[in-house]
Amino acid sequence: TLCWADNTDTGEHALRYTYYPITGTYAYQTALAYPAIGIKNAQELESFLSLARSYFSLSASMPNKETFNEAVKKYDEAFFQENGIVVIYIPSESTSIGYKLTDAALNGEELRISVAEIRPEGELIQKPAGWFMTVELPQEILSQANYFSAGK
């Protein structure tokens, strides 16, 4: 799921360098471009949302996109019994550019997620954007990952 989020340097910095005591990690584990946070249960999701609300408008949306608040409503205790999510923040040069998941692979303790840009033909809207992407994965994969990274 891809949801619009503000493009804020302060918010991106907070996501990259905040220590998540519940998950025991920082969001920025490698040199890949985007901060990624693994979330294995509803408590971890609420902890993430609490931080994100301090920096981003989670109820704002773009045309044909649901808000981040709407997108995460489906992640309840029942969902987390067998699944988890990775939330990726993607700063973008334009609201015209979209993103899609291309790969998610576990390499030792690191879960690497690859995303691709979807660029429209013609000129881009000259307004920076930020996007939250959620990637759903089975708990059996997520539980093996101690580090999360995302990029192109």
pTM: 0.80
DSSP 74: G
Identify the pLDDT of residue 13: 56
User: Which position has the higher pLDDT, 120 or 12?
Assistant: 120
Say how far apart CA 126 and CA 52 lie, in whole Å. 25
pLDDT at 139 over 50: yes
* Bridge partners of residue 85, in order along the sequence: 39, 136
Q: Which of 30-44, 60-74, 107-121 has the highest mean pLDDT?
A: 107-121
* pLDDT value for 10: 58
Quick check: 147 pLDDT over 60? yes
pLDDT of residue 26: 47
Position 76 pLDDT exceeds 90 = yes
Between 83 and 47, the more confident residue is: 83
Distance CA 133, CA 85 (A): 10
